[in-house]
Structure 1
Amino acid sequence: MMRAVENPARLSALARLRSSLPPEVLAASDRMDEIRRRLVDTARDVEVDERLLRLKTSMFGPVDGKEGSILIITGESHAGKTTMLERKLLVDPGLQPYEIDSKPITPLVYMGVKAPNSLQSLAVELLATLGYPVKVDMKRPAAFKLLREKLQERQVLILWLDEAQNLLHVNNPMELTIVANNLVTLVQNMEWPIRIILSGLPELDDLVDFKQIRSRADHWPLGKTTNPAHVAGWLHEIVEKHAELTLDDTLYRYDADEEKWIDNVEFGLRLVHASGGNFGTIMRLIRDAVGCGLKEYDLAVAKGDAPPTCQIGRRHFAKAYANIVGVSNKANIFWAPNWGELPGDMARVKLAEIETSAEPTREMEKELGKKVKPLRAGERRK
């Protein structure tokens, strides 16, 4: 399956569109694109390396070996599952396609499971991905039999199904057993056993309830981010290293009493709450805040009153949050004194009685800093 970034027709269309845009707009857009492409290292990268290594080395054991033959990674939308696996699997030197006597070999097959889906349509789509288009009305038993043959013909070692929770959307609960059984037939095929990676939303966890899956699965539910120190580390990496900008004193300041630079812990807790602890959403908010800061700075440059450097602060996160969620300043988690009482997880707060105020001033920032007692993520005021 061709991806959008590899589609020549789409790339040509985008090039034509670019030619119509002003250079200054393209420069800002390209800079943000570069910033968004930079990856942030986390403890998850170490763990996924270990789990993928176990998955690969499990193929060197007995053909009917069970343990660790199916890796299941679940998490909320934008938790970073797909990106984490892409950056590991798609560049793995041992999983790159090659040819033997002009015959294509595909060690890794990667496909997103469409919704709605069935085992029959999954087999048909996988066959097409492997280069063997078949009739869409092909019966499931025949389609899976052919799929097993073609997986062996292409010498597929690992099958990665993203958005795999769509396999569980069936009308008859008994069909879930059929789903589990057919996945197992692929990993315990006596002639050509493969390894399977399933990634998707938390509902995919239900698949582990089946004994035949549970005995073979390495199940990894991705947890939420709750530690403001982790958030601070990612903030510094994206703003200072990726964007080559600085943080203002609403986020990072020098404490004369302790004689050291310190991060704003309360801000970290606000960011955790605003994102629902979702890693991908935290990344989005930080990068969007950088984008807001760059736009503000470019406008100041155009007016001739720009400061010496572009600094990213609380107001840029408030702007980024408002752009996504659509709330007034008084209902904005990055400004509101009662931020712990506001819905998190990027919830759209609809409070018609709250009038939209002007952009917060530095005095407001100082007032918030003095009067608001830091809360833990999700804590409510009494």
Structure 2
Amino acid sequence: MDWNRQQVAAIARIRATLSPSELEKAEKVKRINDRYLGLTRDTTFSLAFNNLVASVAWHDPQDENRPGKRRILAVCGESGAGKTRTIMEHISLIEAMAPYTDEDGGTVNPVLMYEPPSPCTPKLLAIEGLRKLGMPVRASIRENEAWDTFRVALKAHKIMFVVIDEAQHAVVAANAVDQQKIADAFKGLVQMPDWPVRLILAGVPPLAEFLSEHEQLFTRRTAIRLEKLEGTQGLATIDEILSKIAAHGEVSLNLPTDPNVKFKERLSHAGSGNFGTIVQMIRGAVELAVLEGAPEVSKVHFEKMYMAYSGCLEHENVFTHAAWQELEPLKAFMRVNDKAPRTRRERGEKQIKFGDRP
């Protein structure tokens, strides 16, 4: 079955139900979300990616085992920091990472990007890479065989850049032995004398800890940490992206400027200080204004957006609550009765054994 054809037809049917005005608004919302918002940290990303490409250009098969070569780029940050979007943007800007037609007339994509399953094992990490390449994998394959097959497959498919997103899945629940196996596998990927591979790892802080504990990776990686938007500099960045996204939506801003209201501080708190999450929230508020046909984005749009995003009660909205600093956005959806019931041990009651009456 041709799923692409089916998808195009299904979307066309949906579009046929919308009025020209609704279609125009939908297209505007798409343009808002498609735009990439660069920061000063993009300069660091650009340098790191260019260095990876350059290291392939001067690849020397006779010198692959020399330590100190930075063949791994690690991007760490909290969920919602904008790791994946930033990586994809920079890949799209580098000609050496773009698909091309090889000497046999085939199309080659030198970048393989995939996400490990969760929970994960060293073997599953290799198997998922093989599956992403479209290769059949038998269930009985041994761990070392899976990694050998993966390395051969990378050469056969002319993959030079492997991006593992949410890489913490591979290590967060792994014991010391499995973590060492993964570290050895990563080292093996970037040290193949007959084919240069560069590795890009993205994940939340457990990944940073893993990379710091294995010297064989520490000496081979460049690390970029995506920090939270905090303090005066963070608020200035929020101010900048507010203006940019409003311009993308072709609407003006009508937001509180009273320092006592602390609107930008509330927005930062609502997004836990994470750039990607804050961008999504601003886009969500602008999207509401666009769909309403409003000429400006107001505080009310942010209130509605936050309620939709968080599932909070109306009186616990970060943008209206007097004691907003005390609210926990990640728990806004929870209610009093949502907590798991305490166990007998937690209540101090006697544990019931098999055969006892309760």
Identify the TM-score tier after normalising by the shorter chain: 0.7 to 0.9
Q: Which amino acid aligns with 2:150?
A: L
Hey, what does 2:196 align to over in structure 1?
A: 193
Hey, what does 1:317 align to over in structure 2?
A: 302
Hey, what does 1:243 align to over in structure 2?
A: 249
State the superposition RMSD in angstroms. 2.6
Q: Which amino acid aligns with 1:63?
A: E
Contact residue 310 and residue 330 of structure 2 kept, 8 A: no
Q: Which amino acid aligns with 2:75?
A: I
Question: Could you say what secondary structure the match of 1:198 adopts?
Answer: strand
In structure 2, relative to structure 1, the CA distance for the partners of 1:113 and 1:171 (3 Å cut) is closer
In structure 2, relative to structure 1, the CA distance for the partners of 1:106 and 1:243 (3 Å cut) is closer
Question: Could you say what secondary structure the match of 2:196 adopts?
Answer: coil
Hey, what does 1:54 align to over in structure 2?
A: 51
Tell me the alpha carbon deviations over residues 269-321 of structure 1, each in whole angstroms, 9 at most, x when there is no partner.
Answer: 111111110111111111111122234446xxxxxxxxxxx111212111111
User: TM-score, structure 1 length as denominator?
Assistant: 0.77
Q: Which moved more, 1:158-167 or 1:110-119?
A: 110-119
In structure 2, relative to structure 1, the CA distance for the partners of 1:44 and 1:107 (3 Å cut) is same
Query: Which of 336, 343, 367 lines up with 2:321 in the alignment?
Result: 336
Hey, what does 1:274 align to over in structure 2?
A: 270
Q: CA deviation at 1:341?
A: 2.1
- Rounded to whole Å, the distance in 1 between the matches of 2:139 and 2:92 is 28
Hey, what does 1:234 align to over in structure 2?
A: 241
Tell me the alpha carbon deviations over residues 130-177 of structure 1, each in whole angstroms, 9 at most, x when there is no partner.
Answer: 343332332121222122222223332211111111111545431111
In structure 2, relative to structure 1, the CA distance for the partners of 1:38 and 1:23 (3 Å cut) is same
- Rounded to whole Å, the distance in 1 between the matches of 2:90 and 2:155 is 23
- Rounded to whole Å, the distance in 1 between the matches of 2:189 and 2:146 is 13
- Rounded to whole Å, the distance in 2 between the matches of 1:42 and 1:16 is 39
Across the two proteins, how many residue pairs are aligned to each other? 325
Q: CA deviation at 1:179?
A: 0.8
Hey, what does 2:346 align to over in structure 1?
A: none
Provide runs of 4+ in structure 1 moved above 6 Å: none
1:71-150 equivalences in 2 (<5 Å)? 71-97=73-99, 98-150=101-153
Hey, what does 1:173 align to over in structure 2?
A: 176
Contact residue 73 and residue 198 of structure 1 kept, 8 A: yes
**Are 1:19 and 2:16 matched, yes or no?**
yes
Q: Which moved more, 1:108-117 or 1:227-236?
A: 108-117
- Rounded to whole Å, the distance in 1 between the matches of 2:82 and 2:174 is 30
Q: Which moved more, 1:25-34 or 1:183-192?
A: 25-34
Q: CA deviation at 1:42?
A: 1.0
Hey, what does 1:288 align to over in structure 2?
A: 284
Contact residue 52 and residue 71 of structure 2 kept, 8 A: yes
Contact residue 15 and residue 23 of structure 2 kept, 8 A: yes
- Rounded to whole Å, the distance in 1 between the matches of 2:201 and 2:129 is 14
Contact residue 114 and residue 163 of structure 1 kept, 8 A: no
Hey, what does 1:302 align to over in structure 2?
A: none
- Rounded to whole Å, the distance in 2 between the matches of 1:265 and 1:84 is 32
Hey, what does 2:224 align to over in structure 1?
A: 220
Q: Which amino acid aligns with 2:297?
A: I
Question: Could you say what secondary structure the match of 2:102 adopts?
Answer: strand
Q: CA deviation at 1:126?
A: 2.2
Contact residue 325 and residue 349 of structure 1 kept, 8 A: no
- Rounded to whole Å, the distance in 2 between the matches of 1:54 and 1:23 is 47
Contact residue 69 and residue 196 of structure 1 kept, 8 A: yes
In structure 2, relative to structure 1, the CA distance for the partners of 1:131 and 1:327 (3 Å cut) is closer
Contact residue 109 and residue 160 of structure 1 kept, 8 A: yes
- Structure 1 gap segments, 5+ residues each: 1-5, 254-262, 299-309, 353-382
Q: Which amino acid aligns with 1:201?
A: V
- Rounded to whole Å, the distance in 2 between the matches of 1:211 and 1:264 is 49
Hey, what does 2:185 align to over in structure 1?
A: 182
Q: Which has the higher contact order (CA 8 A, sep 6+)?
A: 2
Hey, what does 1:63 align to over in structure 2?
A: 64
Contact residue 53 and residue 96 of structure 2 kept, 8 A: no
Contact residue 285 and residue 301 of structure 2 kept, 8 A: yes
User: TM-score, structure 2 length as denominator?
Assistant: 0.82
Hey, what does 1:256 align to over in structure 2?
A: none
In structure 2, relative to structure 1, the CA distance for the partners of 1:25 and 1:245 (3 Å cut) is same
